[in-house]
Amino acid sequence: MLTLSGIAIVVIGFLVRANPLLVVALAAIVTGLASGLDLVAVISAFGKAFNDDRYVSIPWMVLPVIGVLERYGLQERARQLIGRVRAATPGRLLLVYFAVRQAAAALGLTSLGGHPQMVCPLVAPMAEGAAENRFADLSEADRQSVRAHAAAADNVALFFGEDIFIAIGSILLIKGFLEQNGITVSPLSLSVWAIPTALAALAIHGFRLLLLDRRLRRKAGNAR
């Protein structure tokens, strides 16, 4: 029962609102000692776990870098850059991003994009800049709509694009579910049949993005 003492430490530590990292570390050390390991063995287990799973912490190291870049004007630079492209509209820009994001996901590069590292600091500000350049002043509702479409473009492109890549969790999940119901299918077949769905998603969502341009153009014309 002494090996369960780590649970008590976690509960007490969170109740008194102690530092979570210190609480979890102390609970792990106490659990290891109660299990018969010496202190050196427990610390060695910490080091091995960190070394084996160090790649998990890499994405978290990117977030502070993005925060610093935003603090020093990354979004403003993105707006200024896209404002120089006269043919750019929010719908066209997001359609291009959608196609690139979906193609990258189809190749298994699902991390080339995402809300914190791409949509928030770059894609959404660039879409807003294109809207301001084309349709003059935007209302707050229009700005929120452009940002929502930017987030949706990333989500939909990733969702329907990643299934084309054969070595992805969703393909294995579908295969397992079908086999439980007596349907045997290869991962390659699932990937191939995901292509028409991805193309349909590109066409349908691309149409929605072009409708965004049309709606903003109509509102700008009525304002004049």
Residue that has been written with the tokens 């004049």 in this structure: 224
Helix (H, G, I), strand (E, B) or coil at 6: helix
Structure confidence by residue, pLDDT tens digits, 102-156:
999 998 888 888 887 888 888 888 888 888 888 777 788 888 999 999 999 999 9
Confidence of residue 163 (pLDDT cuts 50, 70, 90): confident
Burial of 34 (0-12, 13-18, 19+ CB in 10 A): middle
79 vs 180, which has greater pLDDT? 180
Kindly report the CA angle at 57 between 56 and 63, in degrees rounded to 5? 125
Q: What is the mean pLDDT of residues 206-217?
A: 92
Has residue 223 got a pLDDT over 60? no
pLDDT computed for residue 51 by the predictor:
67
Q: Where are the domains of the chain?
A: 2-52, 59-223
pLDDT computed for residue 208 by the predictor:
94
Report yes or no on whether pTM surpasses 0.85: no
Are the CB atoms for 194 and 166 separated by under 8 Å?
Answer: no
Please tell me the total number of residues recorded for the chain in this structure. 224
Are the CB atoms for 223 and 136 separated by under 8 Å?
Answer: yes
Q: Which pair of structure tokens corresponds to residue 6? A: 């780590």
Q: Sign of dihedral through CA atoms 208, 210, 213, 217?
A: negative
Are the CB atoms for 160 and 201 separated by under 8 Å?
Answer: yes
pLDDT computed for residue 38 by the predictor:
85
Residue that has been written with the tokens 């049309």 in this structure: 214
pLDDT computed for residue 150 by the predictor:
94
Structure confidence by residue, pLDDT tens digits, 184-208:
888 888 888 899 999 999 999 999 9
Structure confidence by residue, pLDDT tens digits, 45-92:
877 776 666 555 555 666 666 666 666 666 676 666 676 667 788 999
